[in-house]
Chains A and B, each alone.
Chain A
Amino acid sequence: MTTSHTPAGTIGFGVFFQGVNFGTVWSHEDSGSQTDFESFRRLIQTAERGLFSAFFLGEGLRLREHRGELHELDIVGRPDAQTQLAALAAVTTHIGLVATQNTTYNDVSSLAHRLASLDLLSGGRAAWNIVTTDNAWTGENFRRGGYLDHADRYSHAEFVVRTAKAIWDASEDGRFSSVTAADEYGEVTVRSRVPRSPQQHPVLFQAGDSSEGRDFAVRQADVIFSAHPEFDKAGEFAADIRARLAAVGRPQDDVKIYPGAEIIVAATDGEARDKEVWIREHQVSPQTALAYLEQIWGTDLSSYDADGPLPDIDPVVEELGGTRGAQFQGRQALTIAQGWRSLAEEKALSIRQLVVHLSSKRSFVGGVESLADRFAKYAHAGVVDGFNISPYLIPSGLDDIVNLLIPALQERGVYATEYAGTTLRENLGLRDPLTRRDGHTGREGRGLRSA
């Protein structure tokens, strides 16, 4: 079916409606509701106007806690990803709909069924961003509790992904058969319930950055959501992924690479710098800056001045509970604290300035022309297939990107001028799903059999 690939020398964009973290400004008058459907509609329709490939929603199955209490400083409260994406499917026509779903606290039967349902409702625009959340603290909201051994998170995730693919493949010409699969955490027998969509399977995204995570991605995924937007690092990352792809016998362009990024664009470089100043001011409040440090220091720092130097006391090592539910954990606290102190001394940074420095590494800031040149360089070098943008404002945070930057990228011939097709697979330039290709048995994998 789909055999086109990302045209050489172009990039695409995705957008991540975050719903967590201090990257989204809430204290400015232009900041809209985080839960009202209109915020989602406005953002996704802007993205579609800008020919974005995909719209992402995250998943967090327990509200973040900071030092043992509910974390109050960041935006919080998000809808179930697939429910929201099904609603958004009705008000969009081309953009991909990506649901982050973990493989630990979702049963594979309902996960595969709901993703296939979303894929049908959207006419082949669904995707699954696979994550492996396994902590017992999140497990307190689920039947099995924290049943999964951390060491097994990738092997279990891969089991779940293989089983989901087998369930999708157990639907053929309106006939549904069943799949039996087992790993050390149990056996399931699942009958497929819906036809495959025009793109056959939902597209699979994966974000793990460890060596284990990268190997998992090249075995199973279609797109990697990377953490390396800087040009040199993006190049190293792409080379690493291509080598791993070759090792598993997949073509070098078989997995697309989309690093996460923040884009602050204005008419000129100067205006963009001014814009960045007020964005940082709103993102990193004094309280947020101190809470950021408390994750490492493990103790109350509220008596410190956020606009002053870093604390002179050492972290309270191994105290439980930095900010639970954040990716960032207070491991190796002493080493990190020492590194931050020397960085702050070297650059003469206050606490707040240090936090801004540490948290804006994925940012592209500039005037339209200079940013367009910068992105064109990525496109020409082929080190990424696109960027997944986290807007700093909801719902207007893509307006300048779509109105200013994209036309400039199109003028340079590095951004599409129309959607390539109607399915996400077509618009990302992906081949057929791995299990649907010639020569594939469709039934690979440990412990899988079909009836």
Chain B
Amino acid sequence: MSRQSDTFTIGIELDGAEVRRLARLVSAAETHGFSFASFDDSASAPANGDALVDSILRAAFVSPTTSSIGLVPVSDVIYGEPFHLATQLASLDHASRGRAGFIVRAELDDDAAAAVAWKTADANEIADEAADVVAVSRQLWDSWSDDAVIRDRPTGRYIDRDRVHYPRFEGRRFSITGPSIISRPPQGQLVVFAPGSLTLAADIDADVVLVDGASEAELVRSAASARGRGAARVFAEIEVALDAAGEPARARVERLDAAQPWASASRLRYVGDSDGLTELLTRLAADLDGVRLHVASLDTDLDEIGYRVLPALRQGGVHTPPVVGNTLRDIIGLARPANRFEEAS
């Protein structure tokens, strides 16, 4: 099954961007025309001892200094409060004027479990828990109708209670009455990304499924499988290192590996020149709706892709950069959804 969207989305993971260069890197990614930036996170202290600032706060921090690029934090859904998560993400969507999404992270983490005083999901419950957190987030985002604030002077009412809805969600491991404490996000619903492995294990209401695969053929098969399970959009996770400043990519990777090994995550890894990456992405664009790129080094590869690959893809009609004022749903080619509580009534 081939690409569903008119546009091919190209995102870049900004993991490793420390606070002091975060704003600069996001601005560079926006200037180059990347569709979205993602911000990795973990549920407890990273095993490698690196410092990692909360991903939603990092995304919020760059929202007022950007105007077109999508902002997509990775967020743990297992070891936190679903109500806080939904509210924080809705707030990010407001602060960024509709450019927010989030990548569901649902992985067993003993350290994260020990850090809270309530009983967390066990291995068998993780996928269902993620499905429940996504479901209640969507209900909370819809819990205010778009026109809930009425400012009606004759009756003295700021808000119309008939346009605010109580989800009264009953999940497998938690319940939430609602409604949300903030109005409906500008996009109505944020763009929810979920790993393909998770959507295999549970019925996750995701907009975008992120698939892995060591080869192009495997990615295409995974994409077809995800579409078979109802995915609206399928993006591939790809690792990239490009030739740069006269140094072949392979030599660069070896040099970088000597300092800190680049852990492979069973993803397709492209190491080579920019033309080869342009060709790879052009081929993938026949079957996939987008990619999320994980680069060997942000300091080098972000600009190499930005200067050499994105312009070629633009000329080839494969990729269209986002524009000022668009939402992330616009970028990905998803319509603003109707409010589920209004459909029901």
Interface, chain A (partner B; CB < 8 A): 26-27, 34-37, 41, 60-63, 69-70, 72-80, 82-84, 86-91, 105-107, 109-110, 113-114, 117-118, 120-121, 140-144, 174-176, 178, 185-195, 285-288
A189 to B115, CA, bound (A): 5
Closest chain B residue, CB of each to CB of A143: B174
- Please tell me if the beta carbons of A288 and B178 are within 8 angstroms of each other in the complex: no
Which chain B positions have C-beta within 8 A of A144? 118
Interface presence of B92 (CB below 8 A): yes
Cα–Cα, bound, A322→B62 (Å): 41
A105 to B179, CA, bound (A): 16
Which residues of B from 43 to 92 have beta carbons under 8 Å from A? 44-46, 49, 51-54, 56-58, 60-65, 80-84, 87-88, 90-92
- Let me know if B178 and A141 touch, CB within 8 A: yes
Cβ < 8 Å to A, chain B residues 85-140: 87-88, 90-92, 94-95, 97, 111-112, 114-118
A110–B92 CA distance with the chains assembled, in angstroms: 17
* Given known contacts A75-B158, A86-B57, A106 and B176 CB-to-CB distance under 8 angstroms: no
CA distance A75 to B87 in the complex (A): 18
**Pair B164/A80 contact, Cβ less than 8 Å:** no
CB distance from A183 to the nearest CB of B (A): 9
**Docked pose: A175 CA to B182 CA in angstroms:** 37
Q: What is the number of residues of chain B that contact chain A, defined by CB distance less than 8 Å?
A: 61
Cβ of B92: which chain A residues have Cβ within 8 Å of it? 83
B159 neighbours in A (Cβ, 8 Å): 70, 72, 76-77
Known: A80-B182, A117-B53. 5 other contacts (CB 8 A): A62-B177, A74-B158, A77-B181, A80-B91, A143-B81
Q: Is the CB of A79 within 8 A of B91?
A: yes
| Min CB gap B147→A, angstroms | 13
The 4 closest A-B pairs by CB, nearest first: A186-B117, A287-B156, A79-B91, A109-B115
Partner of A27, one of B52, B87, B112, B151: B151
Contact A80 B116 (CB under 8 A): no
Minimum Cβ distance to chain A for residue B288 (Å): 31
Which residues from chain A contact B82 at a C-beta distance below 8 Å?
143
B116 touches A109 (CB 8 A): yes
**Residues of B180-222 whose CB lies within 8 A of A:** 181-183
CB distance from A70 to the nearest CB of B (A): 4
Chain B residues contacting A69 (CB-CB under 8 Å) are: 161
**B175 to A: closest C-beta gap in Å:** 8
**Contact B61–A80 (Cβ < 8 Å):** no
- With contacts A76-B159, A114-B54, A121-B53 taken as known, whether A87 is within 8 angstroms of B60 at the C-beta atoms is yes
Q: What CA separation (Å) do A37 and B114 show in the bound complex?
A: 36
Chain A: which residue is nearest B62 at the CB level? A90
Also in contact, A84 and B91, with CB within 8 A (given A189-B114, A191-B45): yes
Residues of A within 8 A of B158 (CB): 26, 72-76
* Cα distance, A34 to B82, chains bound together (Å): 24
In the complex, which residue of chain A has the Cβ closest to the Cβ of B167? A141
A186 CB to nearest chain B CB (Å): 3
Residues of A within 8 A of B283 (CB): none
* Residues on B with beta carbons closer than 8 Å to the beta carbon of A175: 49
Contact status of A195 and B80, CB under 8 A, knowing A78-B181, A78-B182, A90-B61? no
Q: Which of B63, B83, B179 is A63 in contact with, Cβ under 8 Å?
A: B179
Task: For residue B229, give the distance in angstroms from its CB to the closest CB of chain A.
Answer: 29
Closest to B97 in A: A37
B49–A176 contact, CB under 8 A?
Answer: yes
Residue among B58, B95, B157 having the largest count of chain A Cβ atoms under 10 Å: B95
Contact A79 B81 (CB under 8 A): no
- Give the residues in chain A near B153, CB-CB below 8 Å: 27, 285
Contact residues in A for B155 (Cβ distance below 8 Å): 287
Residue in A63, A87, A189 whose beta carbon sits within 8 Å of that of B181 in the complex: A63
**Whose C-beta in chain A lies nearest to the C-beta of B171?**
A143
In the complex, whether B342 has a CB less than 8 A from a CB of chain A is no
Whether A113 lies near B97 (C-beta < 8 A) is no
Measured CB to CB, the nearest residue on chain B to A110 is B80
> Which of B45, B151, B175 lies in contact with A26, CB distance below 8 A?
B151
Instruction: Check B279 for interface membership: any CB of A closer than 8 A.
Output: no
**Are the C-beta atoms of B118 and A73 separated by less than 8 Å?**
no
Question: What's the minimum C-beta distance from A87 to chain B, rounded to whole angstroms?
Answer: 4
Whether the pair A194, B51 counts as a contact (CB closer than 8 A) is yes
- The answer on a CB contact under 8 Å between A120 and B19 is yes
Name B51's contact: one of A26, A186, A195 (CB within 8 Å): A195
Are A83 and B83 interface neighbours, CB within 8 A? no
Min CB distance B165 to A, Å, is 10
Contact residues in B for A78 (Cβ distance below 8 Å): 181-182
Contact among B56, B83, B160 with A141 in the assembled complex (CB-CB below 8 Å): B83
Contacts of B174 in A (CB 8 A): 143
Known: A77-B181, A79-B95, A140-B176. A188 touches B114 (CB 8 A): yes
Asked whether, in the complex, the Cβ of B58 is within 8 Å of the Cβ of A141, the reply is no
B149 contacts A by Cβ under 8 Å: yes
Say whether, besides A61-B181, A77-B149, A107 and B95 are in contact (CB < 8 Å).
no
Q: When A35-B183, A193-B52 are in contact, do A107 and B94 touch as well, CB less than 8 Å?
A: no
B136 to chain A minimum Cβ distance, whole angstroms, is: 10
In the assembled complex, the Cα of A73 lies from the Cα of B159 at a distance in Å of 7
Partner of B156, one of A70, A118, A195, A285: A285
A355 to B240, CA, bound (A): 65
User: Which residues of the partner chain A approach B177 to less than 8 Å between Cβ atoms?
Assistant: 62, 140-141
Interchain CA distance A88-B160 in the complex, whole Å: 30
| Nearest CB of A to B221, in Å | 38
Residues of B within 8 A of A35 (CB): 94, 182-183
Nearest chain-B residue to A140 (Cβ)?
B177
Chosen A-B contacts, 19 in total, with CB atoms closer than 8 Å, are A26-B151, A27-B153, A34-B149, A37-B95, A37-B97, A83-B57, A86-B60, A86-B61, A87-B60, A90-B62, A91-B64, A107-B80, A120-B19, A176-B49, A188-B116, A191-B44, A191-B111, A193-B44, A287-B156
What is the minimal beta-carbon distance from B29 to any residue of chain A, in angstroms?
Answer: 16
Inter-chain CA distance A58–B115, complex, in Å, is 26
Question: What is the minimal beta-carbon distance from B18 to any residue of chain A, in angstroms?
Answer: 9
Q: Are A188 and B183 in contact (CB under 8 A)?
A: no
Does any Cβ of A come within 8 Å of B144's Cβ? yes
Q: A35-B182, A73-B156, A195-B51 are in contact. Are A107 and B115 (CB under 8 A)?
A: yes
